[in-house]
Amino acid sequence: MTQQYGEDSTPDLSELQQHEDDGGFIRVPVKVLEVCEPVEVYQLPARRAVMRSINVTDSIVQQVVGYDLRRKSLKIWGDAAANGLITLGVRKDEVEQDTATRWPVQISDGTNGNAPVLEMTHCEAVWVKSIGQNVTLSYIAEYWAD
């Protein structure tokens, strides 16, 4: 059987949408709220952590961690044979040219107290090099997601 169409064979929108599947979604009415007073919030714990030590050779730039939106925090400290400095930055060229920040490292014999810990709460990559000596750099990176 052949179906015949008249001159106006363009279907209207309701005819086109009558057989569309909603994809299994349930439509729920939404009420938009506006918060007008202080709200108590709680910081969630990190889902995972990475704890490592790396050897940073004198004047050689190394990447400690890469750019990662999931990173909650990064804590870095260094131990060396003598008190000294490391250069840290978010760009490799800044660390190579010594225009990045400098951070102290301490003698690792345990008599000098605790090495100063640098805590960062950004998601940028971190590059490092030691100045004048080899350094054991330790770090803990915490992540919001797996």
Structure tokens at 104: 């102290």
Does any domain span residue 57? Answer: yes
Q: Per-residue pLDDT for 120 more than 90?
A: yes
Only one residue has tokens 């990064």, namely 74
Whether the model clears a pTM of 0.85, i.e. scores above it, the answer is: no
Question: Residues 44-80: pLDDT tens digits?
Answer: 899 999 999 999 988 899 999 999 999 999 999 988 8
Cα separation, 51 vs 26, in Å, equals 44
51-81 core/surface letters (b: 16 or more CB in 10 A; e: else): eeeeebeeeebbebbeeeeebbebebbbbbe
Question: Are 83 and 52 contacting, i.e. CB atoms less than 8 angstroms apart?
Answer: no
User: What is the CATH classification number for the domain harbouring 139?
Assistant: 2.60.120.770
User: Positive or negative CA dihedral for 18, 20, 25, 30?
Assistant: negative
- Domains identified in the chain, total number: 1
Does any domain span residue 18? Answer: no
pLDDT score recorded for residue 127: 96
Does any domain span residue 19? Answer: no
Does any domain span residue 31? Answer: no
Question: Are 105 and 78 contacting, i.e. CB atoms less than 8 angstroms apart?
Answer: yes
Residue ranges making up the domain that contains 137: 48-143
